[in-house]
Amino acid sequence: MIPPLLELRDIRAGYGGITALHGVDLTVRAGQVVALLGPNGAGKTTTQKIAAGVHQVDSGEVLYGGRDVTGISSRDAARAGVCLIPEGRGVFPNLTVRENLWMMTFTGRSREEIEEMAFARFPILEQRASQTAGTMSGGEQQMLALSRGLTTDPAVLLLDELSMGLAPLVVERLYEQVAQIAREGVAVLVVEQFASAVLDMADHAAVLVRGRIEYDGPPGRELRNELANLYLGSAS
């Protein structure tokens, strides 16, 4: 079996006195898209922040490529190849598409190379190159955020609510690209509240309810049938 690039083991974490995660286990392997689903407030974003070193655990272990990195800073996590694309797209709305891309030259790539990478994957960005990012559609902004992230050559890509506010067809197209990114060998963890689009392309799914993993398995019919019960259960 392909070794895991990201592993969370028995993670407990919270905010002040509030425990948000009660022993979360999660594994993402190279070439795999794992969908992390769950209702509002279940702990999905907290889990991703822990994976990216943005939030620290109270107990449990975080491993990258089998190496224990518990307590790693977000800076070192990024250096280790973990790229978080937060909800809200992570682009600079007042800068042009080109300027947003050029900011990534700190990775050692040239402006030309970064543009080439982005435009090859998302041709629409070339047409928008001189447009300010904030004036583009949500889907195009998401493409720009992904393009920026990919210039860091991530081993692990963490996507938070990629589909937020986007039309279903746009989401479907974005997920086709996410699947392609995984096929190139990246381990992808996608957090979504609403499941259907991501389940069409995920290799594996986990459902968090009130800080606990209540399902961990294939993203097929069994999960779809169970999802409503899991979500409704969280409301009681």
Ligand X SMILES: Nc1ncnc2c1ncn2[C@@H]1O[C@H](COP(=O)(O)OP(=O)(O)OP(=O)(O)O)[C@@H](O)[C@H]1O
**β partners of residue 170:** none
Q: Is 43 in the site for ligand X (CB under 6 A)?
A: yes
Mark the segment that binds ligand X (CB under 6 A) among 42-50, 111-119, 124-132, 217-225. 42-50
Nearest Cα residue to 179 out of 192, 188, 171: 188
What is the C-alpha to C-alpha distance for residues 220 and 136, in angstroms, rounded to an integer? 34
Mark the segment that binds ligand X (CB under 6 A) among 39-47, 67-75, 109-117, 162-170. 39-47
Q: Is 225 in the site for ligand X (CB under 6 A)?
A: no
| Shorter beta-carbon distance to ligand X: residue 16 or 66 | 16
- Pick from 70, 96, 193, 234: which binds ligand X (CB under 6 A)? 193
Min separation Cβ 18 and ligand X, Å: 5
Q: Is 228 in the site for ligand X (CB under 6 A)?
A: no
Q: Is 41 in the site for ligand X (CB under 6 A)?
A: yes
Amino acid at 27: T
| Shorter beta-carbon distance to ligand X: residue 9 or 212 | 212
Q: Is 23 in the site for ligand X (CB under 6 A)?
A: no
Q: Is 235 in the site for ligand X (CB under 6 A)?
A: no
| Shorter beta-carbon distance to ligand X: residue 45 or 151 | 45
Other beta carbons within 10 angstroms of residue 49's beta carbon come to 18
| Shorter beta-carbon distance to ligand X: residue 43 or 139 | 43
- Pick from 6, 11, 13, 20: which binds ligand X (CB under 6 A)? 20
Q: Is 89 in the site for ligand X (CB under 6 A)?
A: no
Residues in the interface with ligand X (CB under 6 A) total: 12
Residues 138-167 that bind ligand X (CB under 6 A): none
- Pick from 34, 42, 150, 230: which binds ligand X (CB under 6 A)? 42
Contact residues for ligand X (CB under 6 A)? 15, 18, 20, 38, 40-46, 193
